[in-house]
Amino acid sequence: MDSLINLLPEFWKATGETLYIVGLTLLLGGFGGLVVGLGLYLTRAGSILANRPVFGVLNVLVNTIRPIPFIIFLAAVQPLTRAVVGTGIGNNAMIFTIALAAMFAMARIVEQNLLTVTPGVIEAARSVGAGPVRIIFTVLLPEALGPLILGYTFIFVALVDMSAVAGYVGGGGLGAFALLYGWRQFDPVVTWAAVLLIIIFVQVVQFLGNRLARKALRR
Amino acid sequence: MTAPTPLVELRNVSKVYPATVKGAPDVTAIDDVSISIDAGDVYGIIGYSGAGKSTLVRLVNVLERSTAGEILIDGRDVAQLPERELRPVRLGIGMIFQQFNLLNSRTVARNVAYPLEVAGREKADRTTRVAEMLDFVGLADKAGAYPDQLSGGQKQRVGIARALASSPALLLADEATSALDPETTHEVLELLKRVNREFGVTIIVITHEMDVIQTLATKVAVMDQGRIIERGDVFDVFSNPQQAASARFVSTVVKGLPSRPELEVLRARHTGRIVTLAFRSDTVDQTQVFGELSRDGIAFQVVYGGINEIQGRPFGHLTLALTGDDVTIDAALDRVRALTTVTEVR
Ligand SMILES: Nc1ncnc2c1ncn2[C@@H]1O[C@H](COP(=O)(O)OP(=O)(O)O)[C@@H](O)[C@H]1O
Ligand SMILES: [Mg+2]
């Protein structure tokens, strides 16, 4: 317990880093996922911008990348990370990698959520002369908003999970903190403090997500 | 005098869907259809499920591309127009659907406003028009409600208000009452009648239910396997269908025509010959027909029958069992044929 009190400054710093990593990856990966997910949805056969080659490429990309365990993905995309971020280690390299992984995971979730929008309402919008861009913003996204919010809530947990391995590439956050001061020092109190905080994070976000989704669905 | 341009004209239009499974044949959903619909018409298109009705109506506002033929709206061929140029065309064509297809994320008022937003109308202008339309369909008090708080009939009325918001000249109704109970169906059909009468909107009604045609349409086309097999004024097709498929549809609403199983029963019960006579009060004199039959001492018995009214004009069918020698009966029937349509049931 004393050790935890002594470590409090590091603990809060790690908490801040986790929030930073998860927040930024949610933003970047979430946006990327929305774009790729829309791409998948719009280009699939029978959809408003049906395009077989584009759909095929996106589909294979998502199917290939999504199942790779994150820790392996992290190592595999090192060259790309270095090219884009300038370095393969540290929080920013971590953010890039997580955002990339999250983008492909989220893309499938977005696509599935958009598929819940009945084709009929899209047809109704087309029948009054709405074009694809208008349909995306006035039909697809608003009609799928409830499930989309739940999808983003779901991916948040995955982001917290991925951010915990940042310690392996010289990044910070609660995962690195627990590893460094808890596990390596055989101090379960420190480990459990990190675990507890992560549980609280996830619970709070899940609660907010559920509420927002309910509001969007008006239930 | 030149005939006015029809509002909608399809010339030799076909729609072939490529096979969905490799090796399977392509699907010809619309097979060389030509049809002409005048402004002010309520044109019914009836056919069984899979006949191609939905495809046909979706070719009119080019939600679906035809694979052959011309589609003229107000004299202009729209079949090959690029998507962007189709948008103003579609603003002039309203559409309502079996499943209503309202936006659940929007209130009733904002659903009705949707086409006006697409048309780029000013906010104040939109508000006025939405209020007008909701008044017309009797839902002014539901402006702030969401679609999932409405009954089916109310949803379809919102659908109608939305379809008419941009003041289209043409309304496409694809099975618009098929998801509604009979009571609500009646209300919606009455509303569509008013749309036609008060706004002069031309309506194309797609349905598999003959009573919808009976209440609403002035003209009808019967579709089967992607083709139009019969067309004409509703009264003519109802009182005297020429094709077997049309007759089957007619028999679902027309009282007095025995169904196939009923015919079997009649056959079994009566030894003589069985004939069905069509009566149209304005052209056929019943007294004369019965006079011809009784003249040669043929014994006849009415075994089935009924009288209907379409657009205020009555017509009916009587099925008779005739006994007597064949030669006499044939001669009598020939004389009756000069007066009306005679169908002998064998
Ligand atoms: N998108 C499509 N792809 C392939 N075949 C289709 C498609 N839409 C309709 N069809 C086929 O075209 C035919 C006519 O369908 P449809 O117009 O929906 O008939 P209806 O509205 O009269 O029930 C059916 O055989 C149907 O299977
Ligand atoms: Mg249909």
pTM: 0.88
SS3 category, B340 = coil
Q: What is the mean pLDDT of each run of 10 residues along chain B (346 residues)?
A: 82 93 90 96 95 96 96 95 92 96 97 97 96 97 96 97 97 96 95 96 94 92 95 90 85 80 86 85 77 83 87 85 87 86 80
Q: Are the C-beta atoms of A43 and A58 separated by less than 8 Å? A: yes
Helices (H) and strands (E) in chain B, counts: 12, 14
pLDDT band at A182 (very low <50, low <70, confident <90, very high): confident
Q: What are the DSSP calls for chain A, one per residue?
A: -HHHHHHHHHHHHHHHHHHHHHHHHHHHHHHHHHHHHHHHHHHSTTSTT--HHHHHHHHHHHHHHTTS-HHHHHHHTHHHHHHHHS-SSSHHHHHHHHHHHHHHHHHHHHHHHHTTS-HHHHHHHHHTT--HHHHIIIIIHHHTHHHHHHHHHHHHHHHHHHHGGGGGGT--SHHHHIIIIIITTT-HHHHHHHHHHHHHHHHHHHHHHHHHHHHHHT-
Q: Is the pLDDT of residue A42 over 80?
A: yes
In chain B, residues under CATH classification 3.30.70.260 are 256-345
User: Can you tell me the distance from the alpha carbon of B235 to that of B313, in angstroms, rounded to the nearest whole number?
Assistant: 8
- pLDDT score, position A151: 95
The distance from CA B331 to its chain's CA centroid, rounded to whole angstroms, is: 39
User: Cβ contacts of residue B93 below 8 Å, gap of 6+?
Assistant: A127, B60, B61, B73, B168, B169, B170, B171, B172
For the CA atoms of B218, B223, B228, B230, the dihedral, rounded to the nearest 10 degrees, stands at -60
Domain count, chain A: 1
Q: Does A219 touch chain B (CB under 8 A)?
A: no
Total number of residues shown for chain A: 219
How far apart are the CA of B55 and the centre of ligand 1, in A? 6
Cβ contacts of residue A71 below 8 Å, gap of 6+? Answer: A165, A168
**Number of Cα atoms under 13 Å in the Cβ half of residue B235:** 12
Domain with CATH 3.40.50.300 in chain B: 8-92+168-252
Residue ranges with CB less than 5 Å from ion ligand 2: B 54
Is 70 exceeded by the pLDDT of residue A118? yes
Topology given in CATH for the domain delimited by B8-92+168-252: Rossmann fold (3.40.50)
Per-residue b/e over B252-262, b at no fewer than 16 CB within 10 Å? ebbebbbeeee
- The pLDDT assigned to A117 comes to 96
Boundaries of domain holding A159: 2-217
C-alpha neighbours within 13 Å on the C-beta side of residue A201:
21
Q: So what's the pLDDT on residue B117?
A: 97
Domain at B256-345: CATH architecture = 2-Layer Sandwich (3.30)
Q: How far apart are CA B17 and CA B300, in angstroms?
A: 53
State the CATH number of the domain containing residue A108. 1.10.3720.10
The pLDDT, as a whole number, for residue A56 is 97
Asked if the C-beta of A118 comes within 8 angstroms of chain B's C-beta atoms, the answer is yes
Give the residue, by CA position, lying nearest to ligand 1 atom 12: B29
> What is the per-residue pLDDT for A1?
64
pLDDT digits (tens, 9 = 90+) for A72-86: 999 999 999 999 999
Q: How far apart are CA A205 and CA B9, in angstroms?
A: 58
Q: Is B51 in the pocket of ligand 1 (CB under 6 A)?
A: yes
Single-letter amino acid, residue A190 = V
Q: Is B29 in the pocket of ligand 1 (CB under 6 A)?
A: yes
Segment B261-316, tens digit of pLDDT: 888 888 888 888 888 888 877 666 778 888 888 888 888 888 898 888 887 888 88
Q: How many residues does chain B have?
A: 346
Task: Compute the distance between CA of residue A87 and CA of residue A189 in angstroms, rounded to an integer.
Answer: 34
Q: Which residue of chain A is at minimal alpha-carbon distance from B146?
A: A218
What kind and span of H or E run contains B300? strand B299-310
Which one-letter amino acid corresponds to residue B331?
Answer: A
Grouping H, G, I as helix, E, B as strand and the rest as coil, residue B304 is strand
Residues in chain B whose beta carbon is closer than 8 A to a beta carbon of chain A? 61, 63, 83-84, 86-91, 93-95, 97, 99, 101-106, 114-115, 117-119, 146, 148, 162, 166, 172
Helix (H, G, I), strand (E, B) or coil at B128: helix
- For chain A, percent of residues with pLDDT exceeding 70: 99
Percent of chain B residues topping a pLDDT of 90: 62
Mean pLDDT of chain B: 91
The pick from B54, B174, B225 for probing ligand 1's pocket by mutation, whose C-beta has the most ligand atoms within 8 angstroms, reads B54
